[in-house]
Amino acid sequence: MTEKSRFEIIAHGLREAENICVRNGVRLTRLRRDILESLLASGGPVKAYDLIELMRDKGERLTPATVYRTLDFLLQYGLAHRINSLNAYVPCTANHEEHAMLMFVCSECRRTEELDDPALYDYMRSRLGELGMSLRDSSIEIQGLCRKCTIPHPAGAQK
């Protein structure tokens, strides 16, 4: 990922967050914005305690309670998602404001990719329903190997 595209991802994510907050009549406070920016900047799942470290680097000393409260806000408005299997958080990258989370988690490199596919989510949920099972919350995590980890490196190739 180049520097520029990361910058664009952050700018886009913050702009979307502003819009969502305005539509919901809530405030994207500086703290909420800073934490979301840290998530967007990291490019991968971030644990709450790592967020405390990242914010400390920015000169902000936060208690775990403050970080969790802020994360709860981001989760509530769909600006971020919690990945239970990693006990970590990622910014939402889907284009739907209200949506269930369908997250692919690479069990090798631990990178995640949000699958912006409501139809696939609905299909899995309804199939589970037919089998007499249900989801516990509105999220599905799929464990597997990402594109990078699936392609075997040729012997002797430069990484």
Which residues contact Zn ion (rule: CB under 5 A)?
Answer: 92, 94, 106, 108-109, 146, 149
Residue pair 70/77 in contact (Cβ under 8 Å)? The answer is no
Residue pair 33/58 in contact (Cβ under 8 Å)? The answer is no
**What minimum distance in Å lies between the beta carbon of 92 and Zn ion?**
3
Q: Smaller CB distance to Zn ion: residue 62 or 106?
A: 106
- In the DSSP assignment, the letter for residue 32 is H
Residue pair 97/41 in contact (Cβ under 8 Å)? The answer is no
Q: Smaller CB distance to Zn ion: residue 70 or 78?
A: 78
- State how beta strands 88-91 and 101-106 pair: unpaired
Q: Smaller CB distance to Zn ion: residue 17 or 106?
A: 106
- In angstroms, how far is CA 137 from the centroid of its own chain? 16
**What minimum distance in Å lies between the beta carbon of 57 and Zn ion?**
26
**What minimum distance in Å lies between the beta carbon of 115 and Zn ion?**
9
Residue pair 150/107 in contact (Cβ under 8 Å)? The answer is no
Q: Smaller CB distance to Zn ion: residue 50 or 104?
A: 104
Give 129: exposed, middle or buried? Use CB within 10 Å, 0-12, 13-18, 19+.
exposed
Q: Smaller CB distance to Zn ion: residue 53 or 117?
A: 117
**What minimum distance in Å lies between the beta carbon of 61 and Zn ion?**
29
* Tokens at 16, concatenated: 């979307």
**What minimum distance in Å lies between the beta carbon of 14 and Zn ion?**
16
